[in-house]
């Protein structure tokens, strides 16, 4: 059995050596990354400021998207079910604005933003259980390769 596994591995390596290697620019180009995308930006509890890792995620997304034809960006602020609904709506609005401002500051076009907030709506299931990880914004970008 051991000899069979070694022979199979050697065969795969030999076949791999025969393949024509692709250049990196053939595999990953900025235009190949220009497509509709969805990502989340998370916040600390009761916070609307970007964490260092959230700031890095915004900058990384913007770095790719700056090379694209960005048609629209939807930013939806969310909050968990803890606390008063009115306060959670305000918090989710602040989170959505924070992310939209960060993406705009990173070079994405502002006229294409649709910034909304849901507060704590949907933060609990029909059975009354709290939905985890609602301290975030959902970002949906409609991006296409530039022509």
The domain limits of the chain are 34-145
Average pLDDT of the chain? 79
pLDDT tops 50 at residue 53: yes
Q: What does the pLDDT look like over 103-132, one tens digit per residue?
A: 999 998 877 888 988 877 877 777 777 776
At residue 119, the pLDDT reads 79
At residue 130, the pLDDT reads 72
DSSP state string for the chain: -HHHHHHHHHHHHHHHHHSPPPPHHHH--GGGG-S-EEEEEE--TT--SPPHHHHHHHHHHHHHHTTEEEEEEEEEEE--SSS-HHHHHHHHHHHHHHHHHHHHHTT--GGGEEEEEEETTT-B-TTSPBPS--SEEEEEEEEEE--
Spatial separation of the C-alpha atoms in residues 139 and 114, rounded to whole Å? 10
Cβ-based neighbour number of residue 133 at 10 Å: 9
For the domain spanning 34-145, the CATH number is 3.30.1330.60
Q: What does the pLDDT look like over 61-98, one tens digit per residue?
A: 999 999 999 999 999 999 988 889 899 999 999 999 99
pTM listed for this prediction: 0.73
The four Cα atoms 118, 50, 42, 40 give a dihedral, to 10 degrees, of 80
Q: Tell me the pLDDT band of 39, cut-offs 50, 70 and 90.
A: very high
CA distances from 45 to 23, 89, 99, 117 (A): 45, 14, 16, 16
């Amino acid at each position: 059995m051991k000899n069979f596994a070694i022979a199979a591995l050697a065969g795969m390596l030999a076949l791999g050596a025969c393949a024509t290697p692709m250049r990196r620019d053939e595999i990953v180009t900025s235009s190949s990354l220009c497509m509709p995308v969805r990502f989340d930006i998370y916040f600390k509890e009761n916070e609307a400021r970007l964490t260092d890792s959230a700031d890095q995620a915004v900058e990384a997304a913007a770095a790719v998207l700056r090379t694209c034809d960005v048609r629209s960006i939807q930013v939806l602020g969310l909050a968990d079910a803890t606390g008063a609904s009115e306060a959670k709506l305000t918090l989710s609005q602040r989170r959505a604005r924070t992310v939209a401002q960060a993406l705009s500051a990173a070079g994405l076009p502002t006229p294409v933003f649709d910034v909304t907030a849901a507060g704590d709506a949907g933060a609990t299931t029909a059975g009354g259980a709290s939905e985890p990880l609602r301290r975030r914004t959902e970002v949906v970008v409609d991006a296409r390769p530039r022509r």
